[in-house]
Amino acid sequence: VLLVDDGNLGDLDALLHDLGSDVQRHSLAAVRALEPFPWPRRLFITTAQLACSLQLPEPAEDDGVVAIAIAEDASQTLSTMMRRLGFQYLVHRPIHPEALRLLLSKLLYRGLEQRRNERHPFGIEVSWRSGWAKQRGILVEISSTGCRLQTDRPLAPGARLRIAIPAEATGARRILLRGRVMRRDAVSTATPDTRHGLAVGFELLPARLQRRLDALLVRLARGPATLARSAPAPAPAPAAAIPLPRAIESQAPVVASPPVAERRQGPRVVLDREVVAVDEAATRAVHAPVGRDLSPGGMRVDPCPDLVLGGRLRLALYEPSASEPVLLTAEVVRDDGGAGLALRFVDLPPEIATQLGRIIAALPALESLRPEPRRIVLAELVAPRSVA
């Protein structure tokens, strides 16, 4: 991370160090043109005032570096100027410290989270248990947060299970994963037997199992899974082949309902939103981009494996004028597949509704400058859970 300032970005310097970043800071006593400097690998931060005098490298679309400008005021002209200079984000002070931390965390670890959340085709038989009986099934695909399992035994959403990936499939040691069924779909096969597709969300893994799973995902990123062979196996007796299913998508038919916009009683703000999902034990955070709308009655979010139809969750929204986040309870009321999920706020006390109105009216202290300037807000998604 490269931080260039005139002495007034000490809070960002401290925050970056708290996040474990390798920071190179250049403090300037006065604004002046600089000789070109080495471009950082991941993140570049400076003030909007200094950005106009720095000799920045020609921005490259594929270099992976994100540039942030910090400004003391807001104007459309400033947004346009920073965008032309190659900046992706413009931060207006004052800004809530927690919102700033969420933004930096997202940008610093975006590569790791994208790699971990990427789903990889697997297509190998594994064993699993829900209770004492041992079952077999095809692990269709897997990511660090969940998998899709095809089996002839149905399990209801919310049921817990354990999945064992054999060492022959991992190329190292066996991986035992604990999780919960998030969704169940019927799978069409060429045989008369009924088979079921289970979307499984993993529980928090111990560090050693997380390392094994990460190593497996890295291996799968290079190519499809294969079974290790220590000796030639006898040819199996002819049998009807179980076809590998197409990826089970979370786009199950839903009951048609009027668009959310038609039911809104208040204004809607169009924006992108970054959410940090916390597991039920509140011990692990997963950065995930969600959200496009915000209104007094609810919001729309991008597809997220931690959210299921009928589930309730807690949201924490941040605004600069408040030291504590605004905590909201929301319910997933509609699943539109790839178009995302509709959330409805429930049980809003009058004071929370008032704070939410202020957030909507004064949004926000952050701008995303690409592809076009637009306002964004940062939130935390806390302890999602299914409703039985």
Residue 324 has pLDDT above 60, yes or no: yes
For the purposes of burial, counting CB atoms within 10 Å of the CB of 73, is it exposed (0-12), middle (13-18) or buried (19 or more)?
exposed
Residue with tokens 């998508």: 249
Average pLDDT, whole number, for the chain?
71
For the purposes of burial, counting CB atoms within 10 Å of the CB of 134, is it exposed (0-12), middle (13-18) or buried (19 or more)?
exposed
For residue 378, give the nearest of 326, 329, 332 by alpha carbon: 326
pLDDT for 35 equals 55
pLDDT for 12 equals 92
372: three-class secondary structure by DSSP: coil
Between residues 105 and 57, the one the model is more confident about: 105
Which of 95-99, 116-120, 142-146 reaches the highest mean pLDDT?
142-146
Domains recognised in the chain with CATH numbers: 2-93 (3.40.50.2300), 116-222 (2.40.10.220), 266-385 (2.40.10.220)
pLDDT for 194 equals 67
Confidence of residue 287 (pLDDT cuts 50, 70, 90): very low
Residue 326 has pLDDT above 70, yes or no: yes
pLDDT for 126 equals 92
Confidence of residue 124 (pLDDT cuts 50, 70, 90): confident
Q: Report DSSP state, residue 321.
A: T
For residue 45, give the nearest of 106, 90, 84 by alpha carbon: 90
Average pLDDT over residues 282-303: 59
Confidence of residue 240 (pLDDT cuts 50, 70, 90): very low
Confidence of residue 191 (pLDDT cuts 50, 70, 90): low
341: three-class secondary structure by DSSP: strand
Which of 127-141, 290-304, 328-342 reaches the highest mean pLDDT?
127-141
Residue 357 has pLDDT above 90, yes or no: no
pLDDT for 364 equals 56
- The helix-helix angle for 110-117 and 97-108 (nearest 10°) equals 60
Which of 26-40, 215-229, 285-299, 319-333 reaches the highest mean pLDDT?
319-333
For residue 367, give the nearest of 378, 380, 355 by alpha carbon: 378
DSSP 349-365: -HHHHHHHHHHHHH--S
Classify the C-alpha dihedral 358-359-361-363 as positive or negative: positive
pLDDT for 58 equals 59
Beta bridge partners of 343: 299, 332
In terms of residues, how long is the chain? 388
Share of the chain above pLDDT 90, in %: 7
**Residue 325 token pair:** 């986040």
Question: What is the identity of the amino acid at 333?
Answer: V
Confidence of residue 20 (pLDDT cuts 50, 70, 90): confident
pLDDT for 163 equals 94
**Residue 179 token pair:** 């999780």
For residue 306, give the nearest of 329, 277, 327 by alpha carbon: 277
pLDDT for 134 equals 87
